[in-house]
Amino acid sequence: MPEHLLSRVEQCYQAAETFFKQPFARAEVCFKLRGQKAGVAHLTENKLRFNPQLYRENREDFLKQTVPHEVAHLIAHQLFGLKIQPHGAEWQLIMRGVYELPPNRCHSYTVQRRTVSRYIYRCSCPQGEFPFSAQRHSLVSKGRRYYCRRCKVTLSFTGEQRLE
Protein backbone atom coordinates (compact mmCIF):
# COMPACT_ATOMS: atom_id res chain seq x y z
CA MET A 1 0.00 0.00 0.00
CA PRO A 2 1.43 3.43 -0.93
CA GLU A 3 2.97 5.06 2.11
CA HIS A 4 2.13 8.56 0.80
CA LEU A 5 -1.57 7.76 0.92
CA LEU A 6 -1.42 6.29 4.43
CA SER A 7 0.57 9.30 5.58
CA ARG A 8 -2.03 11.64 4.06
CA VAL A 9 -4.85 9.78 5.82
CA GLU A 10 -3.04 10.22 9.12
CA GLN A 11 -2.46 13.95 8.41
CA CYS A 12 -6.20 14.36 7.80
CA TYR A 13 -7.05 12.68 11.10
CA GLN A 14 -4.53 14.83 12.98
CA ALA A 15 -5.91 18.01 11.40
CA ALA A 16 -9.44 17.02 12.48
CA GLU A 17 -8.25 16.22 16.01
CA THR A 18 -6.55 19.61 16.28
CA PHE A 19 -9.62 21.41 14.89
CA PHE A 20 -12.22 19.62 17.04
CA LYS A 21 -9.92 19.06 20.06
CA GLN A 22 -10.85 15.39 20.38
CA PRO A 23 -9.46 12.04 19.20
CA PHE A 24 -10.96 10.05 16.32
CA ALA A 25 -10.81 6.31 15.76
CA ARG A 26 -8.54 5.51 12.83
CA ALA A 27 -10.02 3.73 9.84
CA GLU A 28 -8.88 0.56 8.20
CA VAL A 29 -7.48 1.54 4.79
CA CYS A 30 -7.43 -0.72 1.74
CA PHE A 31 -6.82 -0.46 -1.98
CA LYS A 32 -9.61 -2.70 -3.22
CA LEU A 33 -11.82 -0.43 -5.30
CA ARG A 34 -12.35 -0.51 -9.05
CA GLY A 35 -14.46 1.36 -11.53
CA GLN A 36 -15.40 5.02 -11.50
CA LYS A 37 -15.19 5.74 -7.78
CA ALA A 38 -11.92 7.19 -6.48
CA GLY A 39 -12.70 6.38 -2.87
CA VAL A 40 -15.42 5.09 -0.57
CA ALA A 41 -15.93 5.57 3.15
CA HIS A 42 -17.75 2.72 4.91
CA LEU A 43 -19.16 4.56 7.92
CA THR A 44 -20.32 1.75 10.17
CA GLU A 45 -17.19 -0.33 9.48
CA ASN A 46 -14.84 2.66 9.88
CA LYS A 47 -13.13 1.66 6.66
CA LEU A 48 -11.69 3.56 3.68
CA ARG A 49 -11.31 1.99 0.25
CA PHE A 50 -9.35 3.67 -2.52
CA ASN A 51 -9.02 3.00 -6.24
CA PRO A 52 -5.37 2.14 -6.98
CA GLN A 53 -5.67 2.85 -10.71
CA LEU A 54 -7.06 6.36 -10.19
CA TYR A 55 -4.48 6.96 -7.46
CA ARG A 56 -1.61 6.07 -9.82
CA GLU A 57 -2.98 8.25 -12.61
CA ASN A 58 -3.91 11.30 -10.46
CA ARG A 59 -1.56 11.07 -7.48
CA GLU A 60 -1.22 14.76 -6.59
CA ASP A 61 -4.92 15.66 -6.73
CA PHE A 62 -5.86 12.32 -5.18
CA LEU A 63 -3.75 13.07 -2.10
CA LYS A 64 -4.91 16.68 -1.95
CA GLN A 65 -8.65 16.25 -2.53
CA THR A 66 -9.84 12.61 -2.56
CA VAL A 67 -8.22 11.44 0.67
CA PRO A 68 -9.56 14.36 2.77
CA HIS A 69 -12.97 13.93 1.09
CA GLU A 70 -13.24 10.33 2.29
CA VAL A 71 -11.75 10.95 5.73
CA ALA A 72 -14.23 13.83 6.18
CA HIS A 73 -17.08 11.34 5.76
CA LEU A 74 -15.76 9.25 8.66
CA ILE A 75 -15.09 12.30 10.83
CA ALA A 76 -18.62 13.62 10.16
CA HIS A 77 -20.05 10.22 11.04
CA GLN A 78 -18.10 10.05 14.31
CA LEU A 79 -19.15 13.59 15.25
CA PHE A 80 -22.75 13.73 14.08
CA GLY A 81 -23.97 10.14 13.60
CA LEU A 82 -25.67 8.30 10.74
CA LYS A 83 -28.62 10.63 10.20
CA ILE A 84 -26.66 13.29 8.28
CA GLN A 85 -26.56 13.64 4.50
CA PRO A 86 -23.41 12.22 2.86
CA HIS A 87 -22.39 15.60 1.39
CA GLY A 88 -24.48 17.74 3.73
CA ALA A 89 -23.64 20.73 5.88
CA GLU A 90 -21.66 18.71 8.44
CA TRP A 91 -19.39 17.14 5.82
CA GLN A 92 -18.99 20.51 4.08
CA LEU A 93 -18.01 22.11 7.40
CA ILE A 94 -15.18 19.60 7.74
CA MET A 95 -14.01 20.05 4.16
CA ARG A 96 -13.96 23.86 4.42
CA GLY A 97 -13.08 24.34 8.09
CA VAL A 98 -10.65 21.54 8.78
CA TYR A 99 -9.06 20.89 5.38
CA GLU A 100 -9.64 24.30 3.77
CA LEU A 101 -10.75 22.60 0.56
CA PRO A 102 -13.80 23.10 -1.65
CA PRO A 103 -16.49 20.53 -0.80
CA ASN A 104 -16.55 18.92 -4.24
CA ARG A 105 -18.84 15.91 -4.37
CA CYS A 106 -17.25 14.22 -7.39
CA HIS A 107 -13.83 13.85 -8.91
CA SER A 108 -13.04 14.78 -12.50
CA TYR A 109 -10.49 12.04 -13.18
CA THR A 110 -10.48 10.34 -16.56
CA VAL A 111 -11.70 6.79 -16.07
CA GLN A 112 -10.69 4.10 -18.53
CA ARG A 113 -13.64 1.89 -19.34
CA ARG A 114 -12.76 -1.74 -19.65
CA THR A 115 -13.81 -3.66 -22.74
CA VAL A 116 -16.54 -6.21 -22.17
CA SER A 117 -17.75 -9.12 -24.26
CA ARG A 118 -21.30 -9.04 -25.49
CA TYR A 119 -23.02 -12.20 -26.71
CA ILE A 120 -25.53 -11.47 -29.46
CA TYR A 121 -29.02 -12.98 -29.17
CA ARG A 122 -31.86 -12.58 -31.66
CA CYS A 123 -35.59 -13.03 -32.00
CA SER A 124 -37.81 -12.96 -35.10
CA CYS A 125 -38.36 -9.16 -35.06
CA PRO A 126 -36.66 -7.10 -37.83
CA GLN A 127 -34.37 -5.26 -35.39
CA GLY A 128 -34.47 -7.95 -32.72
CA GLU A 129 -30.84 -7.97 -31.62
CA PHE A 130 -29.99 -8.26 -27.92
CA PRO A 131 -26.41 -7.99 -26.64
CA PHE A 132 -26.09 -10.08 -23.47
CA SER A 133 -23.44 -9.74 -20.78
CA ALA A 134 -21.23 -12.72 -19.95
CA GLN A 135 -23.26 -13.23 -16.77
CA ARG A 136 -26.60 -13.35 -18.60
CA HIS A 137 -25.13 -15.57 -21.34
CA SER A 138 -23.96 -17.97 -18.61
CA LEU A 139 -27.48 -18.10 -17.17
CA VAL A 140 -28.85 -19.06 -20.61
CA SER A 141 -26.32 -21.92 -20.83
CA LYS A 142 -27.66 -23.13 -17.46
CA GLY A 143 -31.23 -23.23 -18.76
CA ARG A 144 -32.68 -19.78 -18.22
CA ARG A 145 -34.80 -18.41 -21.06
CA TYR A 146 -35.32 -14.84 -22.17
CA TYR A 147 -38.17 -13.70 -24.41
CA CYS A 148 -38.67 -10.78 -26.76
CA ARG A 149 -41.33 -8.46 -25.38
CA ARG A 150 -42.63 -7.66 -28.85
CA CYS A 151 -42.88 -11.02 -30.59
CA LYS A 152 -42.79 -13.27 -27.48
CA VAL A 153 -40.22 -15.58 -29.13
CA THR A 154 -37.41 -17.12 -27.04
CA LEU A 155 -34.16 -15.31 -27.72
CA SER A 156 -31.47 -17.50 -29.26
CA PHE A 157 -27.70 -17.12 -29.33
CA THR A 158 -26.34 -16.32 -32.80
CA GLY A 159 -22.81 -17.51 -32.04
CA GLU A 160 -21.65 -13.92 -32.51
CA GLN A 161 -19.60 -12.16 -29.86
CA ARG A 162 -18.58 -8.46 -29.77
CA LEU A 163 -16.19 -6.40 -27.70
CA GLU A 164 -17.56 -3.07 -26.46
**Catalytic residue positions, numbered:** 70
Instruction: Supply angle C-alpha 29, 111, 134, rounded to 5.
Output: 90
Longest dimension (CA), the chain: 70
* Sequence-ordered list of residues with C-beta below 8 angstroms from that of 24, at least 6 positions apart, any chain: 13, 16, 17, 74, 75, 78
Residues 3, 124: Cα–Cα separation, whole Å: 58
